Homo-oligomer: A and B are copies of this chain.
Amino acid sequence: MAGSMLGNIFKISTWGESHGKGVGVVVDGCPAGLEISKEDIQIHLNRRKPGQNRYSTPRKEDDTVEILSGIFEGRTTGTPISMVIYNTSQRSHDYSEIKEYYRPGHADYTFDSKYGFRDYRGGGRSSGRETIGRVAAGAIAIKLLSSLGIEFYTYTKAIGPVEIHDFNWDETAQNPLNMPDAKAAEQAAAYLEECMKAHNSSGGQVECIVKGVPAGLGAPVFEKLDANLAKALMSIGAVKAVEIGDGMDVITSTGITNNDDFYLKDGQPAKFTNHSGGILGGISDGSDLILRAAIKPTPSVSATQHTFNRSGEELDVNIKGRHDPIIVPRAVVVVESMTALVLVDALLENMTCSMENIRKIYQ
């Protein structure tokens, strides 16, 4: 079944493999009249581009987007927007070895279980390169939301045992780890150096805060905003946990502490606290959205690992090549993109939810 389509109204359809001709996405259902340029998209693709610092894979890719349809005279036309990013990296690598066996921690075995065989070159469809389509589509969603005053603050919250303690937004773009805390970024870098020396890799956590989200987004009981955000974030390779608001901490909290009291600020509803992370009953409450994704360490490590192959034999493998010791900093823009895609879809959905809105449009 089609697994690469997402959304109910604002729908995307991504495609592409790591070592095929390219990757891309079709965005269908984008409202007409949104001003958008190639640069609006490229800026986000650049945020996830590999090879920008020593904590990321050295694979060189331009990741330049081409827009093939759906935009005319600088604005979306309401018809499908097709975008392609051609793969340009050299493919000198010999994949004949990993073709036959199943790498631990990777999707080799599960793809073979499902489909009978797989494009084994560089992970094929299960490569992180697949996320380019998400980011290109997400860039359009971010632009649309931005035009309504909705703004994203997404960053690395933790790398291995190193968590941020300060929050200085401007710092985020100043360090290669996308942490809003210079000191934590330094400590995290030191930790990563150790990992790299040991040919090991590190996990981490991304946090996303969204300001300016109107109340009313999300459709109980299954299309709740938090439900769709959880799906969108968990669909990112390597994400193993998703939290909204206080997340895991609610386990040990109590009702009196956890409830957020309301008040009125300049006549507008506000809350003294935001344990709920901006969502109540699956619907946005007008306060900041707060969400986090826990990301597992890159499975590509250079240790000897035990596995089996297509011929049904066990073997020890030692996978060569240098890989990302951490993908968390590059995942920041992916988390943001997925969040934006869910928000735009919920924003459009909410327009259709009341006779009052219908009358605003049809009279």
Contact = CB atoms under 8 A, between A and B. Distances in A.
A239 B262 CA distance: 21
Interface centre among A20, A216, A275, A296 (most CB of B within 10 A): A296
A7 interface: yes
Interface residues of A, number: 167
* Total copies of this chain within the assembly: 4
Contact of A26 (B8, B15, B226, B297): B15
Interface string A1-26: 11111111111011111001111101
A106 to B, nearest CB: 7
B294 A247 contact: yes
A189 interface: no
Given A221-B130, A280-B109, A2 B10 contact: yes
Given A115-B77, A227-B231, A231-B227, A15 B28 contact: yes
A105 B280 contact: yes
A355 B222 contact: no
Interface stretch (A45-53, A118-126, A165-173, A175-183): A118-126
A299 B81 CA distance: 27
A358 B148 contact: yes
Given A4-B220, A352-B351, A107 B250 contact: no
Contacts of A357: 31, 351, 361
Interface in A236-250: 237, 239-248, 250
A264 B313 CA distance: 8
Contact of A3 (B32, B221, B280): B221
A46 to B, nearest CB: 22
